[in-house]
A and B are shown apart, each in its own frame.
Chain A
Amino acid sequence: MGRYIIRRLLQAIPMLFILSIVLFMLVNVAPGDPVTAVSGQRPRPQARERIKRQFGLDKPLPVQYVIWLIGNDWMRLDLDGDGIAESRGQRKGVLRLDFGFSFQTREQVTHEISDRFLNTAYLMVATLVVVIILAIPIGIISAVKQYSIFDIAVTTFSFVGQAIPEFWLGLILILVFYTWLNNPFTGEPLLPPGGMQTLGASFSIWDRVKHLILPVTMGMVGWVAWYSRFLRSSMLDVLHMDYVRTARAKGLVERVVLYRHALKNAAIPLVTMFALDLPYIFAGSLYVELLFSWPGMGRLYYQSAQNRDYPVLLAILIIGSAIMIFANLLADIAYAFLDPRVRYG
């Protein structure tokens, strides 16, 4: 098991390396240069040259990649353009966790991203908790009471939930809970249309929760639909197994049969699927963050794509790919760990 994990980790490294080259090239072949985006209007040629030198955009692409990867503090740069390399490079490179400076804010990308990452994580954890709390009981009940009215309602809901465009759901939620419905006591809109908390107000849990309700609802519907359906079908598979019949024949209480014998096995594919879906949940938060002006990674990515802020774009893409690869790894390991029949050499 330990060796398997190490082998998979070692395989992930070249993959990430190749992806980083592909993504770096993609980001940098983009037409329209960041210089225009940075300086607002069209800069004069000299200014343009200077900005390019400062950002290291004057070098050929492969060199730019190497600098991006391992930094340039081991070489001297010609920043004033007189042909003499006079100043020492400042960048440490991605391998030493330095993603360079944002073209837009001229701040460290790492610094720029870390806050945003926490905000996204906060939103995601809240969403995931709600998804798990809702999907698991729904899936179990509708499998146990197959073809009951509840089951039919759940199956229909799972189709509806998966077909609703997330961004449209968000718009409708804002429309209903912000525009149309008012708090009967204060006459204010029932729920806030965006942000993580009321600006200028002191921290209060209720205020935080109020700001979470709509974004979490928007983010969870599709996933609850998907997981309750998934768990329902894997529960149904398991409930027809011989060992469940044996458990019943032994005279075990139905509750024990369901939770100890059936659910434990039905949950194995669910856990794997969950691990595989993590990056998609992460990516899906982009729509939520945009609609509800949530200061997270997705919104930062969107803004950077609009502004051609290459270093930020690349950093988020690389982090996204790393999460993807890690999630795949996690799924395989979870599978091997949970199902004793699966053994890898």
Chain B
Amino acid sequence: MKQTPHNLSKQGADDWAKLGKRPPEGMASMVWRRFRRHPGAMAGSIVLIILVLSVFLASFSPYDPEKSNMPDLKLPPLPRHPFGTDLLGRDMLTRVLYGGRISLTVGLLVVTITLAIGVPVGAVSGYFGGRVDNVLMRITDAALSLPALMVLILLSAILREIELPIFERNNVVTIAVVIGSLSWMTVARLVRASFLTIREMDFISAARCVGVSNSRIMVRHILPNAVGPIIVESTLELGYAIMEEAGLSFLGFGIQPPTPSWGNLLNYAQAHLTRHPWLAIFPGLMIFLAIISINYIGDGLRDAFDPFKVLEKTGEP
């Protein structure tokens, strides 16, 4: 892999100018340049930005997401209620947007937890190797051998009954911890693989010769070079997490009503499918939109970070 220095100082840039050359392109700008050329990724970004914005703007909705509103029961989609209303007269658009807040928050928290466990485990495992690596990787294997969906159901069924200070009855944090604790393994393996390759490179030997400490080598020298795959994997993980939360809540084991989430809105809609189909259509559509845009972004990032990938359409390096 070609190394491009991506923390060029001002001094360095001047040196390049003296030589009459442009300084080599930094990683961030290369990735952005290539990412922009990926139509799917750009479209995905735009859709996701709109989704996130509207989810934040939900507070300005004139309707309350949880309080019932008797005169407006079971209205089909109309201009006044674009997504219709549910059996308690609550505006579905407002509920779907509030649900989006919950679902996206769970997704982001899961990614944070995944990284917080996966990166250190993978880094230590790949850098030190030997017995530490063996133990950590056996644990990773064991976690990967668990039937994930079933264990998720089990854990959230257990936690649904528990009142703890932070993990109160399957709130956002509980669900995120449950999902996160079962999804760090891919990141750990990925980080381990990158660390295994990079630690053999000459610049790491050089750093070791000058007496740089192990932890500093890991954080400052190896990690920045392994960041590409980690970012790509985190993006995809965000999609999985949103889907998993929706699935759990759909089964009734996730976020508990009256707090809306995309999944439990669908759970609620299931019983009224025949007579009030709009209750089911819109939350699912939102999950679909969020995940497809995230997947396209992930795809674009993967291509953008891959130094060997020649962009398909333009043939540009």
Q: Which A residues are within 8 Å of any B CB, using their own CB?
A: 15, 18-19, 22-23, 26-27, 29-32, 159-160, 162-168, 171-172, 174-175, 179, 279-280, 283-284, 286-287, 290-291, 301-302, 305-306, 308, 313, 316-317, 320-321, 323-325, 328
Contacts and interface: CB of A to CB of B under 8 A. Distances in A.
B50 interface: no
A27 B157 CA distance: 10
Interface string B298-309: 010000000000
Contacts of A18: 142
Given A172-B281, A325-B145, A163 B295 contact: yes
Interface of B is mostly: helix
B53 interface: no
Interface string B278-314: 0011011001100110011001000000000000000
Contact of A165 (B142, B149, B287, B296): B287
Contacts of A160: 292
Contact of B273 (A30, A171, A287, A323): A171
Given A15-B142, A163-B291, A163-B295, A168 B280 contact: yes
B148 A283 contact: yes
A290 B40 contact: no
B247 A167 contact: yes
B251 to A, nearest CB: 7
Contacts, number: 119
B159 to A, nearest CB: 9
Given A159-B40, A165-B246, A283-B148, A317 B154 contact: yes
A340 to B, nearest CB: 25
A171 B149 contact: no
B243 interface: yes
A306 B155 CA distance: 12
B154 A168 contact: no
B292 A159 contact: yes
Contact of B253 (A166, A172, A305, A323): A305
Interface in B144-163: 144-151, 153-155, 157-158, 161-162
A26 B281 contact: no
Contact of A31 (B161, B239, B280, B283): B161
B273 A168 contact: no
Contacts of A317: 147, 150-151, 154
Contacts of B287: 165, 168
A44 to B, nearest CB: 22
Contacts of A29: 158
B250 A321 contact: no
B284 A172 contact: yes
Nearest to B239: A163
Nearest to A18: B142
Contacts of A320: 146-147, 150
